[in-house]
Structure 1
């Protein structure tokens, strides 16, 4: 299996959605391994470096602080301990993502209930300040928070 050729910074930007300036910043900040240069002096991203860019992108999107991303990337020499350290960082981040997903799921449910209550209030032609609208909203929230199957 042959390795794909290295690509330039614009291509990496298009593939990842990360701006060229941000890619350069990632490099300066030590968030990606050293990017090689072609004979013309331009950055050349190998498939391995591109995988690092995507990993860093995912870690940042999931809320890992820059300092921890840097630790992950620069974690010592090529040893088994380095891999154990990286594994521990990734497992902690995965657990944090699970917690974030649970919070987002609960928040989405609450927002869904609010949307449904507004839909019903609008369909009924009620004013939001109408006490009947408030009772309707209470009923919708009770249904939405009790059992998703009842929606």
Structure 2
């Protein structure tokens, strides 16, 4: 297990092929992905997880498997989408329905912020969520993100609340 960060209840680790079955519970689940672009087809998940593992090798930053210590199971994914540059990255998190309401997204999100700080190259982190996903919006505010207003997103074809957190200027 390639551990990146550990909290009291969670381990964030690089995704591996063995995590595909667990990933079906969050990225492959229509209800969980309702406020995103919909569920990822199960046959595509191995490629997705592999791309996150490769992103970590290149950038030392990626989306990570969130492993629940008490169940020895991957319950979600949290981390960063790296697009044009590592100095500005997008925070994302998705969790299996059974993990909702337990504070795991906030705990994993804060772990991700520490990972970004330790990386040393990230200057700004941004995030957005569907306006109907009030839980996600509360999490971003709890983690110290600042609301910037509504922003249009081509991928979701909608305006979404947009947040930023500046690490370094």
Report the TM-score when normalising by structure 1. 0.28
Q: Relative contact order (C-alpha < 8 Å, sep 6+): which is higher?
A: 2
Bigger radius of gyration among the two: 1
Report the TM-score when normalising by structure 2. 0.25
Bigger helix fraction: 1
Bigger strand fraction: 2
